Amino acid sequence: MSEEASAGVAFAWINRLPDEILSEIFVYTYDIRLIDPDSRPVHRQGPPSGAFLSHVCQRWRNVALSCQYLWASLPCETIEWTKACLARAHSGPVTLRFNPLWNADTVNPLLLGPRRLIYPAIPRARVINAWLEFGRPENTNAYTSEVLQALTQEAPWLEELEITLDRPMDFGSNEPRFVPTLFGEKPPHKLRRVYLEGCALNFPPTIFTAALTVLQLGESRLWTNMDEMIEFLWTVPLLQDFSFTYSGDLIPYGIDAELSRTHPPRCISLPHLRSWQVSTSFVVGIRMFSYFAFSPDAELRIMVDDGESGEPDAQRYTDAELEGLIAFGSTAVRAHYAEYSQHGGHYDSIELGYRSISHDPWRMSLSIPDVDAHDAHRLRAAAAAMYLSIPVFADAETLTIRSGWRGFSWDDMLCCENVKRLHFGGIAILSFEIALREREMPSHPLFPACSEIAIRDFNFAEWPGQVMYDIYTVPADFEVRLVITLRLWQADRDSERNLQVNLDNCALGPETMGVFQSAFGKDYVHTS
């Protein structure tokens, strides 16, 4: 059967469907096309993405024109199509996007007309996405103020809200801008998802209800101290996703990081929470975390972001302050995992990276403060032990050391006595070999239970004799030195088990396999 005949048969069968089913198919087709960014209405110069469905036959046209969802993503790039879509999506919920008017630092006045047409539709908005700018170019400020003023209308149908107040790269400040009263101080009772960037709202913010499930804040201020944060989060008990990003010191931007004098730790109970992510200064992140109580199964990421200064934490705080913060952080994380640990729970695998310990970097990752100063050895060890010594991490059976790891020493890992499998990324195996060769405590061998080593992404063919990352000099006979050191390590541990060595994604030299197999046996050396 030819393609034309096949298409005709398919069309005939589709045309037998009732209008209600055909309309659902149209909606599904429209949603699939929106996955492609080039098909989204806000990027198109011509008709909206689903318009082609109204140009197949008269019946399809009637069904498409009556399906308001196909025309409800506004504005279009032209006044004509925006008017047409408003007429076709005349009573149902709409998705409104207020995007920048400029292109290459020049305002395009033709884009302003379509956007102004949709202001009256705000009370019917189900989704509002406003990406607004100040200062680039300057005449965008008037448009930004105009949109924010339009958003003072009530929006009782609103379910998702995104507002980004962007600033030029050379603005020189992370201070958020005040947003005027939104939605007439009448919180949309269906509002479930909110993303704010560069925004400051008066406390208490009036746009939220107990229905909120997702709150993502980037360089934004909803509270000015820990007490206000606690009081606000008590009002959103159904929260499932929380993220807070703010670079550097928050005090200049009106957020006090001092601990609450009235509320105890873990006083914000969020039983539905599935993700908690914070990227900010060490003191703010760990103090915020101490007030939350949620399931240890939820995603947890605490990332240290000290802003543009890059100043090590050992220089930001006195020794006493930093020591207190490290102890406080360890206590907070231990409390988070307390019940889980009491039942014998622990992560089966952990990874050490750049000043971080993680299980799955996208699901559980904790940053440690930067105290690598030469005169801060005791504090550095305390920072490394802050999380690593907690049983939920220390009892892991698989330990991965990434190539760019930093902030830990090998002696910090003496607590990891249950590790059976060691994985080394890139140059990390060289650091391990040096540590084993130079350690002065053979009575306390590293990783006494280890029976398997995986070396990943190491170039045995080209790296020996080279200086890597301006730090490590790889000996010309590295593979020979490595197997000798590993065999001595086996002897120090009195291990009767054969050591399995996996060379994963490694570039091998002409003698590499022979050297390892002669040391550990052919059956115990594998490549992949």
DSSP H or E run through 95: strand 94-98
- Mean pLDDT, range 236-259, rounded to an integer: 85
Structure tokens at 132: 């607004």
**C-alpha separations of 427 from 354, 401, 430 in Å:** 14, 10, 6
Looking at residue 250, its pLDDT comes to 67
**C-alpha separations of 424 from 447, 503, 506 in Å:** 14, 10, 11
The contacts of residue 183 (CB under 8 Å, 6+ apart) are 151, 152, 153, 154, 155, 158, 206, 207
Q: Give the chain's mean pLDDT.
A: 84
> CA 20 to CA 185: how far, in whole Å?
38
Higher pLDDT among residues 177 and 42, named by residue: 177
Q: pLDDT tens across 61-106, in order?
A: 766 666 677 777 888 888 888 888 888 888 889 989 988 765 545 5
Looking at residue 41, its pLDDT comes to 45
- Mean pLDDT, range 453-479, rounded to an integer: 91
Residue 39 pLDDT greater than 50, yes or no: no
- Mean pLDDT, range 5-29, rounded to an integer: 60
- CA nearest 26: which of 40, 80, 17? 17
> CA 186 to CA 189: how far, in whole Å?
9
Domain-by-domain residue ranges, the chain? 1-72, 93-222
CA 78 to chain CA centroid, nearest Å = 36
**C-alpha separations of 282 from 26, 246, 253 in Å:** 50, 11, 16
Q: How confident is the model at residue 438 (pLDDT cuts 50, 70, 90)?
A: confident
The full 3-state SS of 469-524, as one line of letters, equals: CCCEECCCCHHHHHHHHHHHHHHHCCCCCCCEEEEECCECCCCHHHHHHHHHCHHH
Do residues 490 and 447 touch, judged by C-beta distance below 8 A? no
CA atoms within 13 A on the CB side of 129: 10
Q: pLDDT tens across 53-63, in order?
A: 666 676 667 66
Residue 45: other Cβ atoms inside 10 A: 8
Q: Helix (H, G, I), strand (E, B), or coil: what is residue 107? A: strand
